[in-house]
Homo-oligomer: A and B are copies of this chain.
Amino acid sequence: MAEDTGRGASRRAFLKGSVAAGGALLGAGAARAAEPDPLITEVQPWASGLGEGVDATPYGLPIRFEDDVIRRNVEWLTADTISSINFTPIHALDGTITPAGCAFERHHSGAIELKKEDYRLMINGLVDTPLVFTYADLERFPRENHTYFLECAANTGMEWAGAQLNGAQFTHGMIHNMEYSGIPLRTLLHEAGYSGETEGKWVYVEGADASSNGRSIPMEKALDDCLVAIKANGEALRKEHGYPARLVVPGWEGNMWIKWIRRIEVMDGPVESREETSKYTDTLADGTSRKWTWVMDAKSVVTSPSPQSPITHGHGPLVITGMAWSGHGRITRVDVSKDGGKTWETARLAKQGENKALTRFYLETEWNGEEMFLQSRAMDETGYVQPTKAQLREVRGENSIYHNNCIQTWWVKENGEAENVEVS
């Protein structure tokens, strides 16, 4: 709330005692300002001099006061930063678009620099006319624009073993949501003469980096909504997101969104590559592994309040917010619980849910210092309801790494701080 910083007396007598702090009507924690506020009554330095000119930042970065809103690595998670992960600072964001600059990265052999001039995309295998496209070729095909979330299959993966990472950025930050401009993969397959009359029921896609990160994708999905994207949020893809072209596989695990895409082979079956057998499969309770779990099920998380975004403004009105998404389509409803899932309130969706894209939710409430066990629970257009951790473990055991879409709990303490916990 407004505080008297003691810097001087009022220059405008009319203000004295007649202007209330904005919190006055907000709740018990706020009080009418006893003394005039110099930030209102005194001319401040920023109001009496010139600011920065337009040549200062041809391409701008966030203001320095926001320098904690960055991608962060968790050093102990992996052995090196080349094959490692960083996380989107979702606890500090609002709305649905993720700015590219702080959208998480995951590489298998590091982010490569590949010039448009050096870029080639080959389509081969069971097609009539194997083709090689340059970047300029790609720009000549009809483009579509769609906003989609990308979630790493390992997002929330550490939580299988219990409440481990203390912040929404770390538990749920392997996700971003961007507007892509790209060429439907079906267009390129048809250009290569793929007719649907061959044995070509799968595509195998690989990237130009050393890992190649090859993945098999069923032809049905390839022909449905996959894009070869050349822009994200209006501009060229960032290096770390696959410049100059990446595959977009809407609603499916991020590992399949091949970056620096260089080859698409039409095949009669899946390759069963490393990335789809020893990795990105789900080890079940009996030790067997479940494969082909590509679709990211409905999921949500409260981003504020959360461990990195505690309540600092005192008692009274509180906006609880978070995001929800489903690889199966649109989010239709999000519920919020303050008591660890005993009772639920339906949150307000900022906009109608978009297909395979992030949906922002809000719950406006009152908070007066009581302990909360905050949860959110997403529902999608298929009728699916996001499960609890217990429900998920019942099906999957505790040996999994991937595809953890359980309900998350934040313990909000009496002082407004929050902590990652499990509730039984």
Chain A positions within 8 Å of B, measured between CB atoms, are: 1-2, 15, 18-27, 30, 33, 37, 39-40, 44, 46-67, 69-73, 80-82, 84-86, 92-102, 105-107, 109-116, 118-122, 124, 129-134, 136-145, 178-181, 191, 208-210, 212, 230-231, 233-236, 238-240, 243, 260, 312-313, 316-319, 321, 348, 350-351, 360, 362, 364
Contacts and interface: CB of A to CB of B under 8 A. Distances in A.
B131 A350 contact: no
Contacts of A80: 53
A364 B142 contact: yes
Q: How many identical chains are in the complex?
A: 2
A131 B21 contact: yes
A231 B22 contact: no
Contacts of A115: 65
A235 B21 contact: no
Given A20-B130, A129-B25, A236 B62 contact: yes
A318 B142 CA distance: 9
A176 to B, nearest CB: 9
B110 A51 contact: yes
Contacts of A84: 53-54
A51 B82 contact: yes
Contact of A113 (B46, B233, B236, B321): B46
A142 B349 CA distance: 12
A132 B32 CA distance: 10
A129 to B, nearest CB: 6
A54 B87 CA distance: 9
A94 B49 contact: no
B132 A2 contact: yes
Nearest to A90: B234
B52 A239 contact: yes
A235 B145 contact: no
6 contacts: A19-B122, A22-B191, A25-B131, A30-B137, A47-B208, A56-B111
